[in-house]
Amino acid sequence: MASSTSLLFPVFTFFSFLFLASSSKDNTPATITIPLTSTFTNKPSTEPLLFLQHLAISSLSRAHQLKYGKASPLTQISLFPHSYGGHSIPLSFGTPPQKLSFLVDTGSEVVWAPCTTHYTCTNCSFSPKKAPIFNPKLSSSYKILECRNPKCSVGCPRCNGKSKNCSHACPQYSLQYGTGSASGFFLLENLNFARKTIHKFLVGCTTSAAHQPTSDAYAGFGRTMFSLPMQMGVKKFAYCLNSHDYDDTRNSSQLILDYSDGQTKGLSYAPFLKNPHDYPGYYYLGVKDIRIGNKLLRIPSKYLAPGSDGRGGLMIDSGFAYGYMTRPVFKIVTNELKKQMSRYRRSLELEILSGLTPCYNFTGHKSIKIPDLIYQFRGGANMVVPGKNYFEFPEISFACFPFVTDAGTNTLEFTPGPSIILGNNQHVDYYVEFDLKNERLGFRQQTC
Ligand SMILES: *[C@@H]1O[C@H](CO)[C@@H](O)[C@H](O)[C@H]1NC(C)=O
Ligand SMILES: *[C@@H]1O[C@H](CO)[C@@H](O)[C@H](O)[C@H]1NC(C)=O
Ligand SMILES: *[C@@H]1O[C@H](CO)[C@@H](O)[C@H](O)[C@H]1NC(C)=O
Ligand SMILES: *[C@@H]1O[C@H](CO)[C@@H](O)[C@H](O)[C@H]1NC(C)=O
């Protein structure tokens, strides 16, 4: 753990392995409840600016990855390959069960773990030697995915029908993330919960990785068939995220995997939209309007719903700390914000240091009022993001607007991919339900 990044961010602990038992706390066999742990286990108080800067860089890199779907120049220049500020769950694979911590990631589509004693991780922000790994050799239930299995979606060039070659292993996978990559081979393995075992679960055995921000394994929760909820066949999953400002008087939050259908009490719903062809795994929401306080913003509709060419739209992503807005939208939003915040002092110095804009220095102000950011979804539901959620560190005399945008000079360019990404710090203290069966997002404000 003696990496330079851990020296830069001494208060940021990315080993959050509270290997809590998977448990099903309520008596409804239709649900599985798993403790959800923030990858922040300490309040980043000594170097909050570096912390902001780090999150800005990794969020920008993540945004680029989500939008362009492949390694970007930003990936390589990422200076602080730390966690995105995610949340993790313990999962047990194999017989006997081996328990590892998995990052919950609604923006990716595969479940994988660092795997085999040969596991290597290049330029990772933790010691790969100390990374918890899954060792298939210690499990009696794993099978290597074969070419003949329809789950071998990459296909094998020499396997046609029932030829002998079809018993070969499915070719290696290679995955790109905002700040990293992972490659390995697929296994079919038992995924164990206290009162349920999922057999032949497709899990990636990652043998080599690079630039991983955390030693956690990944649990893709995306909208395609190999994500965790899709393979399990649950009808919905839900979580309630604790504040990033870790507060240990709070109960740890939980992830709920739910096999039952129907309406959850007290939730407002917003429909998921049909995905554009190039982005099958994301959760797009239909937005009608965005407001800052009472002010309705004039955002051209092409940015608010994905077009068939894959441009535009708003996605929700649990694996993303900050928000992202494409530059034209970012300008409209920040122009209005600056108007409403004009009584406070802008700090260009903070903006340069954090990589975010606008930033304010509140020194000398007794009470600070930051307007709500309100997403009005199709179907009528509003998500109100209080200033304290979308602004970082309002309690410590300065704050920055935690949204990243495209760096390009052509500010009117309509870039591919989502135009707006709702990151997880915007849905802190919301109960959020991804209703897969009815293709909608349910939410309500509550203390998590
Ligand atoms: C790892 O980092 C070193 C030094 O920063 C660099 O030279 C090398 O190319 C990096 N390796 C990979 C695989 O990115
Ligand atoms: C099986 O693979 C070998 C090469 O690995 C190839 O020569 C052969 O034609 C393949 N057989 C079939 C039936 O595709
Ligand atoms: C923690 O959970 C218990 C039982 O569910 C509840 O009574 C209590 O209010 C919770 N505490 C906080 C701080 O939310
Ligand atoms: C905010 O302004 C005060 C007074 O001008 C100054 O002392 C302080 O260093 C500033 N804070 C930051 C984080 O720039």
- Return the HEC string of 324-343: EECHHHHHHHHHHHHHHCCC
**C-alpha closest to that of 195 among 257, 136, 252, 250:** 257
pLDDT band at 35 (very low <50, low <70, confident <90, very high): confident
Kindly state whether residue 263 falls inside one of the protein's structural domains: no
pLDDT digits (tens, 9 = 90+) for 298-340: 999 999 999 999 899 999 988 777 888 999 999 999 999 999 9
Q: Which two tokens stand for residue 385?
A: 């993001």
166 alpha carbon – ligand 2 mean position (Å): 10
Q: What one-character DSSP code corresponds to residue 166?
A: G
Residue 138 has pLDDT above 80, yes or no: yes
Q: For the chain, how many residues are written?
A: 448
Kindly state whether residue 193 falls inside one of the protein's structural domains: yes
Residues near ligand 4 (Cβ within 6 A): 347, 349-350, 361, 363, 398
Q: Which of 192-201, 319-328, 394-403 has the lowest mean pLDDT?
A: 394-403
Nearest CA to ligand 2 atom 9: 158
* Helices and strands, counts by H and E, the chain: 7, 27
Q: Are 417 and 320 in contact (CB under 8 A)?
A: no
pLDDT of residue 415: 81
Proximal ligand: closest to the CA of 166: 2
pLDDT digits (tens, 9 = 90+) for 353-384: 888 899 999 988 888 889 999 999 998 899 99
Q: Which two tokens stand for residue 220?
A: 């893709």
Residues 173 and 216 in one domain: yes
Last residue of a domain, one of 258, 290, 324: 258
Residues 209 and 322 in one domain: no
215 or 29, greater pLDDT: 215
Q: What string of DSSP letters covers 101-161?
A: EEEEETT---EEEEBSTT-EEET-SS-GGGS--B-GGG-SS-EEPBTTSTT-TT--TT--T
Residues 170 and 230 in one domain: yes
Residues 89 and 221 in one domain: yes
Residues near ligand 2 (Cβ within 6 A): 158, 160, 163, 165
Residues 39 and 162 in one domain: yes
State how far the alpha carbon of 313 is from the alpha carbons of 264, 325, 397, in Å: 26, 10, 34
Last residue of a domain, one of 206, 239, 258: 258
Using the CB atoms, write b or e for 426-447: b if 16+ within 10 Å: bbbbbbbbbbbeeebbbbbeee
Residues 310 and 204 in one domain: no
Residue in the block written with tokens 């918890």: 132
**Does ligand 1 lie within 6 Å of residue 305's CB atom?**
no
Position 75: which residue type? T
Kindly state whether residue 78 falls inside one of the protein's structural domains: yes
Residues 339 and 379 in one domain: yes
Proximal ligand: closest to the CA of 163: 2
Residues 241 and 279 in one domain: no
- Measured from the Cα of 160, ligand 2's closest atom is 14
Kindly state whether residue 93 falls inside one of the protein's structural domains: yes
Nearest CA to ligand 2 atom 10: 158
pLDDT band at 72 (very low <50, low <70, confident <90, very high): very low
Residue 5 has pLDDT above 50, yes or no: no
Burial class (CB in 10 A: 0-12, 13-18, 19+), 199: exposed
Nearest CA to ligand 1 atom 1: 123
Mean pLDDT of the chain: 80
Q: Are 86 and 203 in contact (CB under 8 A)?
A: no
Q: Which two tokens stand for residue 245?
A: 């400002």
Q: Which of 29-43, 99-113, 190-204, 230-244 has the lowest mean pLDDT?
A: 29-43
Residues 194 and 308 in one domain: no
Q: Give whichever of 36-50, 159-173, 357-371, 400-414 has the largest mean pLDDT.
A: 357-371
Kindly state whether residue 325 falls inside one of the protein's structural domains: yes
166 or 245, greater pLDDT: 166
Residues 88 and 235 in one domain: yes
pLDDT of residue 246: 43
Q: Which of 35-44, 116-125, 205-214, 276-285 has the lowest mean pLDDT?
A: 35-44
Residues 364 and 409 in one domain: yes
Nearest CA to ligand 1 atom 10: 123
183 alpha carbon – ligand 2 mean position (Å): 25
Nearest CA to ligand 4 atom 5: 363
> What's the average model confidence in pLDDT over 278-303?
94
Kindly state whether residue 303 falls inside one of the protein's structural domains: yes
**C-alpha closest to that of 361 among 395, 401, 398, 394:** 398
pLDDT of residue 85: 63
Kindly state whether residue 85 falls inside one of the protein's structural domains: yes
Domain assignment of residue 362, given as a range:
268-445
Kindly state whether residue 215 falls inside one of the protein's structural domains: yes
Query: What is the CATH number for 46?
Result: 2.40.70.10
- Measured from the Cα of 398, ligand 4's closest atom is 13
Last residue of a domain, one of 191, 225, 258: 258
pLDDT of residue 299: 96
Residues 29 and 160 in one domain: yes
Q: Identify the H or E element spanning 31.
A: strand 31-38
Nearest CA to ligand 4 atom 6: 363
> What's the average model confidence in pLDDT over 391-399?
70
pLDDT of residue 74: 28
Nearest CA to ligand 2 atom 4: 158
- For a pocket test of ligand 3, which of 251, 256, 446, 448 has the largest count of ligand atoms closer than 8 A to its C-beta? 251
Nearest CA to ligand 1 atom 6: 123
